[in-house]
Amino acid sequence: MTATASDRIPRRAVAGYAAGSVGTGGFGTLPGLVLAYYLTDTLAVPALLATVVVLAPKAWDVLIDPAVGALSDREAGRRQTRTVLMTVGALTLPIGFIGMFAAPAGLSPVAAGLWVLVFFVLATSSFSLFQVPYIALPADLTSDYAERTRLMGWRIAVLALAILLVGAGGPAVRDAAGGDSVGYLVMGVVVAVVLLGGMLATVVGVRGRSHPHSRGGSDRPARIRGEYRTGLVAFRELPTYRSLLIVFVLQALATGVMLAAVQYVATYTLDDQAALTFVFVALVAPAILVVPLWTRYAGRVGKQTAFTLASVLFAGAALSLVLLLWAPGGWLYLPVAVAGVGYAGMQLFPLAMLPDVISAAGRHRGGAMSGLWTAGETTGLALGPAVVLLLLALGGFRSSTADEVVTQPGSALTLIVLAFSLIPALLVGASLLVLRRYRDPVPTEVTA
């Protein structure tokens, strides 16, 4: 069915919304990719303490995301916009982000870990102010089922490009600047500027754009405690939302574990720290090419069926990487690329399906539902590095500073490979069992 004129999203809004993926993709990727390694192999923070450092800020994020969602719904009801919170988040994020990689020289490992912890909390708080209303926007921009897929197709294409740019380019900048603490600081500054530009482009692009049927939301005084529960109530009462969120969290955890393990695989399995860039490119680059193909395929078979196929591809490719235990080498780039094809669909389809679920539930709950969604994603991505660090601690991994060379025990080397292969495959396999319970809402607008 062709979208009506009021349902059609203007190109400026599509481009602006897609640009936000530079910020969300970059911030969601780089800390998960390098922060654990920065803590253990540059600041010499013990693996168990590093686990707390990467997990605690995300736990805080989980607590505040539903509250941010309630504030976003209040803003949408009063102003027919969500861009005020997004602007505040965009402008303050660089402070925390740069601070994470600016631990002063001479700090003890414990003090350095606490330094990173404080600035990571600041960064995640700012990110929540942008990310939660950003996720709620598609249901505000249009009521058309196909238009949301079009919007998400562009967003995921930019997301893949941003993840590739930041995930591969960030470590490359670090290595070019020396690879030590100074290199991390240079990387932090460069990436912070990129994130800021993408997020502000979204604010400018979507400002003033609100679908007529999305107006009239609640403008009553915010009762944060009650609104905080709205997302949890939706999770309990809406089986479709519950199934989709659980699938998304499990897959976020799977990708979080794999990404956190990449740098360790490059350094200790492939004996080449710089191989991180090439492994990451192999994972993400296919997404840029296949997102349009996934979009067309979903148009023929439906989003859920396409999502299932993407997940199967990722799980199978990840499982094959277990062979690195016996035959480490460059052959891994092929299955990693296949996993990247699946990863593109795993990013595209949940985000294209969520606005359908929100519209069916009533858009007055969009911010709260998006807040819980973001909290779930944050939990999965945060637990990824935490799982890897816990496995390293169990395997007897030895932390060090950047100028030290240490020999790792065989148990730690084995667990690094399993974190990169078997564990993500099992998590995505579990998500497929939950995805079978998802029922696509009727693609028509349901007003509150």
pLDDT at 345 over 50: yes
Containing 195, the helix (H) or strand (E) segment is: helix 181-206
Closest CA to 430 of 297, 257, 238: 257
pLDDT in tens, 137-151: 776 776 666 666 677
What does the pLDDT read at residue 367? 65
Q: Which residue has the higher pLDDT, 146 or 28?
A: 28
pLDDT band at 72 (very low <50, low <70, confident <90, very high): confident
102: left (phi over 0), alpha (psi -120 to 50) or beta: alpha
Q: What pLDDT shows up at residue 146?
A: 66
> Could you give the CA distance from residue 19 to residue 334 in angstroms, rounded to a whole number?
29
CA distance 440 to 3: 19
Question: What digits encode the pLDDT tens for the residues 283-325?
Answer: 888 877 887 888 889 888 888 899 999 999 999 999 999 999 9
Alpha-carbon radius of gyration of the chain: 21
Domain boundaries defined on the chain? 11-203+226-435
Q: What is the mean pLDDT of residues 86-100?
A: 94
pLDDT band at 260 (very low <50, low <70, confident <90, very high): confident
Calculate the alpha carbon distances from 62 to 40, 57, 136, 372 in Å.
25, 9, 17, 8
Which residue shows structure tokens 């100028």?
403
- DSSP letter, residue 332: G
- Whether 214 shows a pLDDT value over 70: the answer reads no
How far is the C-alpha of 317 from the C-alpha of 341, rounded, in Å? 10
Distance CA 148, CA 351 (A): 9
Burial group, residue 422, by CB count within 10 angstroms (0-12, 13-18, 19+)? middle
- Rounded to whole angstroms, the Cα distance separating 188 from 119 reads 12
Fold of 11-203+226-435: Growth Hormone; Chain: A; (1.20.1250)
| Collapsed DSSP state (helix, strand, coil) of residue 393 | helix
The mean pLDDT of 385-402, rounded to a whole number, is: 82
- Note whether 288 and 436 are within 8 A (CB): no
3-state class (DSSP) for residue 401: strand
CB atoms within 10 A of CB 29: 26
Instruction: Name the pTM for this structure.
Output: 0.73
Average model confidence (pLDDT) across the chain: 82
